[in-house]
Amino acid sequence: MDNGTDILGRGAEATVYRTTYLGRDAVVKTRIPKGYRHSGLDMHLRSMRTKNEARIMIDARKAGVRTPVIYDIDVKKCDITMEFISGRKIKDILDDEPSKANEMCGKIGVAVAKLHNAGISHGDLTTSNMILTPDGEICLFDLSLGTTLAETEDLGVDIHLLQRAFTSAHSGLDDSLDVLMDAYTKNMNDAQSILKRVDDIRGRGRYT
C-alpha cells in the first residue's frame, strides 16, 4: 500500500487520506492515538472501534446497502483501507441542485430502510455522510458510531438526526424531506414504531 498524504478529512477521532491499494484508488481511515488515555486502554478502544466499524460496513453491504468495499484492516495500526468512492456528497447536491432533491431523497429513504431492516444504525446519519455514486446509488460512509444490534432508540436517533439536518442545513426542502420519509416508511418494517420513537426523541429535546 502507498501511504500517500492526500488528506481528505481530519476529525477528533480519525484522519482519512487517499492512497492506492494493489493498484486501485483507495482511502485509509486511521484512528488517532489519544495521549490523555492510558496507552493500553487507548490501543484497546481504537482497535475495538476499528473492528466494529468494519463489521458494520460489511453487514450493511450484505443487507444491500452501498458502502465502500473494505480492502484491508490493520487492528494494530487501527487502519481501515477501503474503496475510494468517486461522486458527490448528497449535501452538496441538495445545496447546489435543489431540483434533484426529491430524486435524491427517495433514494435516501430506501437506503436507510434497508440499513434499519437489517438491525443496523448509522449513528451519524446526515447528508454529509452520503455520496451519490456515478451509477446512481446512495453510498453511506463513516459508520463509526453505528451498531449492528440496533434497538428502536438507535434507529429513531438516526431518523431524528436526518430530519434535523433538513431543518438546519437544508431548510426549504420540506417537500423533499416528505419524499424521503414516505420512501422510508414504505420500505421499513414496523416503521410506525420508529416514527413514534422519533416523536419521543423530539419531545425530549424540547424540555432539556
Residues forming the active site? 124
Residue closest to 71 by CA, chosen among 134, 23, 14, 122: 23
Do the beta carbons of residue 18 and residue 29 sit within 8 Å? no
Distance, in Å, from the CA atom of 208 to the CA atom of 203, rounded to the nearest integer, reads: 9
Cell of 102: 426529491
DSSP, residue by residue, 33-93 = P-TTS-HHHHHHHHHHHHHHHHHHHHHHHHTT-B-PPEEEEETTTTEEEEE---SEEHHHH
> Using an 8 Å Cβ cutoff, are 145 and 124 in contact?
yes
